Structure 1
Amino acid sequence: MRRLASVLAVSVLVLTGCSLPRHYPEVTFHANGKTIRVEPAVYCDLGGDNCAERAQPAKLKVPAGKVVQISVDGQLADGLWEAVFLYRDAAGKEQTTGTGLLGKGENFTYTLSLPDKADQLLGIEVHEAAAAVLETGQPLLRGYWAVEVTS
């Protein structure tokens, strides 16, 4: 999971500050007959400032070859969000990939299915874009929800 966080940190860049609103959007993950609701690990104001850490990564058991259903609340679905995941392929190599940007009121759910049935999921992060953009043109991260996967 640490590797996932460090890989993603390159695209995230700025998460600092301290105060947050009272309501935090949650993301629901469902796999292998179990459902968990996850609060953001980090959440910022709409401009990407005033961030605070909220929660440690949740844990979810996902055997190789199983899918994960991801469902975001309306606040995330109305904006821009993406799911990024780390997995170990059949050759034992760690891979990171993602959904690309979803949302704009059209995507409330995503089914995460790895390329090969032998691949083992290791971690998932859901990212919400802030209203601001980085100099590179990429959206600034407003918050993220993290799940550490056990097999």
Structure 2
Amino acid sequence: MRRLASVLAASVLVLTGCALPRHDPEVTFYANGKTIRLEPTIYCDIDGSNCAEKNAPGTLKVPAGKVVQISVDGQLADGLWEVVCVYENAAKVQEGCSSPLLGKGDNFSYTLAVPNEKDQLLRIEVHEAAGAVLDTGQPLMRGSWVVDITR
């Protein structure tokens, strides 16, 4: 009888498994032979409200001039997302870069490259667009995944 109760309890858990809360989307960063997988530093409801600070930024060692491969999970790839970065050029001046809007089920990855081989990445952020837009027409940010670069 106890065995039957255990089987029934396990069946209920399996059947209700789709009602369990989903985890926050993750982003994978790969450079210099190392991979890190991060959950968001900030994450909001789909409309961009009820935001919560979640996790500290990750760190990744990236030598000057090297690329970073970025992969997002399906939840991000189905929506809109972008990559932004800060880098230091050869003259030691900080500059920024950004990708076009990616996603809509077509883009699961992006290769971030600095313009010149002496440029040093300092920070990378992946932004997920919310289901709302600002007055300017730009999408409101729903989530942010942040990597601070070490040399």
* TM-score range relative to shorter protein: 0.7 to 0.9
C-alpha separation between the residues in 1 aligned to 2:37 and 2:104?
22
The size of the alignment, in residue pairs, is: 131
C-alpha separation between the residues in 1 aligned to 2:62 and 2:30?
9
- Corresponding letter in the other structure for 1:82: E
Tell me which residue corresponds to 1:107. Answer: 107
Tell me which residue corresponds to 1:63. Answer: 63
Identity over the aligned pairs, expressed in percent? Answer: 67
C-alpha separation between the residues in 1 aligned to 2:55 and 2:139?
23
State the 4+ residue runs in structure 1 displaced beyond 4 angstroms: none
C-alpha separation between the residues in 1 aligned to 2:65 and 2:124?
15
Tell me which residue corresponds to 1:7. Answer: none
Q: State TM-score, norm by structure 2.
A: 0.85
Q: Deviations over 1:32-68 (max 9, x none)?
A: 0000001100001101011100011100000002110
C-alpha separation between the residues in 2 aligned to 1:148 and 1:22?
27
Tell me which residue corresponds to 2:25. Answer: 25
Q: Deviations over 1:11-37 (max 9, x none)?
A: xxxxxxxxxx65100000000000000
Gaps of at least 5 residues in structure 1 are 1-20
Gaps of at least 5 residues in structure 2 are 1-20
Larger radius of gyration, structure 1 or 2?
A: 2
Q: State TM-score, norm by structure 1.
A: 0.85
Find the residue that maps to 2:75 and give its secondary structure: helix
Tell me which residue corresponds to 1:51. Answer: 51
